[in-house]
Structure 1
Amino acid sequence: MNELELKKLWQTTNDKLEESFVINKNNADDITQVRVHSILGSMKPIKIFTLLIGILWVSIGMIALSSIYLNSFSEANKFFLFSASIQVGLTAMALFVYLYQLITIYQVDITDPIIRTQEKLASLKTTTLWVTRILFLQLPVWTTFWWNETMLTDWGILQWVGTLFFTISFTAIAIWLFFNIKYENRNKKWFQLIFSGKEWTPLMKSMELLEQVEEYKE
């Protein structure tokens, strides 16, 4: 075999290897997109269930609160009324985020470029962190909804100390979580305790799969 034939054989082999690499890369992209689509699909039931329960809760709350504000505001327990209003308002905000997430999940398509899927996953990650922050802001009002005006005249110092201790503690926890729930803390135990299950684990698994594909390409 002369030099020219060797060069032709080398070129042919090289072309086949490059073609095989391209095919494998495309197959890896397609398989990963299918897996990501399936994993994200597992999040749909819990999102739909949460959305439906949340809508029912907020609807009942808004109807009840509207009736109180319009018909018996002067006689109503203001502590309960304002606490319930804050709770319902924050829950309504969270529902809009859940609705956005559900729409985003349904928009993920196996034919999308990986970069586009990554953008949607990044959006789901960010909104999941935000909706959790919003929901934790409800903590303080769960300690104040039962307060009433007779507390101001009938309670002693020890009763107020105990009550305010719980309210201030819950407020401090809510504020701390609001500012510390961020992706950089994902490896901390308290973060992993909060973020686990069907609303977080599939998202992280999907992101890892896409990152592995990007590393394979490189």
Structure 2
Amino acid sequence: MEDVEILNLWKSYNKRLQESLVLSRKNTEEITKLKAQSFLTSMRPRKQFTLWVGIIWVGLIDLLIVKLFFIASPFFIISMGIQVLLTKVAIVVYLYQLMLLRQTDVSEPILATQERIARLRSSTLWVTRLLFLQLPAWTTFFLSAKMFMISNVWLILLPVVITAIFTYAAIWLFLNIKYENRHKKWFRLIFSGKEWDPMMRSMELLDQISEYKKEA
């Protein structure tokens, strides 16, 4: 009789232990999800601020181009046109990212959330690559045809060399800003802050949840 009672007690204890483990795992998962949601939510104010700054900037440059179109240097019109066009593309991307952040809910299936964050990460890389293509435009907007009529070769060569360097840098960054380079120092220098770190942290947390589920 004692053996039966001991066996029953052991079964009862084992059952309670399993229930406790399940509850603990569930609580850990929920807490991890809340942390991930908090990281993603923290990204929205910065993106909203950047979006509004971009909209104001585009409005001012568009107005400036229209007013100076017939009197400004072609270098200015073309340079500012390129700059404002790329900024408009960035604005569209930021709107898309805000939509993704608004739609992301960590209470939904993990795979769906991970897929949205992957799209957010991909669009962040792309918009940064596009914005770096603006670099050459910042070295040419002040040029004029008169400058190239000057007999001083150095005054002509200097802006050409500077533009060439900025163009090379823009193309290099456009080609090399990739997720697989995330551990390199130059990449971390560019992508460190409230628009990147919270996203990566939330991805790590969701990966942890996926591992919990696999172990379970």
TM-score w.r.t. length of structure 2: 0.90
1:53-109: per-residue Cα shift (whole Å, max 9, x none)?
10011112223323444xx2xx33100000000000000000111111111112122
Please name the residue that 2:38 is paired with.
Answer: 38
Q: How far apart in 2 are the matches of 1:104 and 1:140?
A: 31
SS, match of residue 114 in structure 2: helix
Work out which of the residue numbers 118, 121, 124 in structure 2 matches 1:125. 121
Structure 2 residues without counterparts, runs of 5 or longer: none
Contact 2:148 2:156 in 1 (8 A): no
Work out which of the residue numbers 142, 161, 167 in structure 2 matches 1:165. 161
Please name the residue that 1:199 is paired with.
Answer: 195
Q: Percent identity between the aligned chains? A: 50
User: Quick one: structure 1 residues 87 and 10, their matched pair in 2 at CA, closer, same or farther if it must change by over 3 Å?
Assistant: same
Q: How far apart in 2 are the matches of 1:12 and 1:65?
A: 79
Please name the residue that 2:207 is paired with.
Answer: 211
Q: CA RMSD in A?
A: 2.0
TM-score w.r.t. length of structure 1: 0.89
The more displaced of 130-139 and 34-43 is 34-43
Asked if 1:22 corresponds to 2:22, the answer is yes
Aligned length: 214
Please name the residue that 1:185 is paired with.
Answer: 181
Q: How far apart in 2 are the matches of 1:155 and 1:63?
A: 35
1:171 Cα deviation from its structure 2 partner:
0.3
The more displaced of 174-183 and 38-47 is 38-47
Contact 1:137 1:178 in 2 (8 A): yes
* One-letter identity of the residue aligned with 1:152: F
Q: How far apart in 2 are the matches of 1:152 and 1:36?
A: 56
Q: How far apart in 2 are the matches of 1:124 and 1:161?
A: 42
Structure 1 residues without counterparts, runs of 5 or longer: none
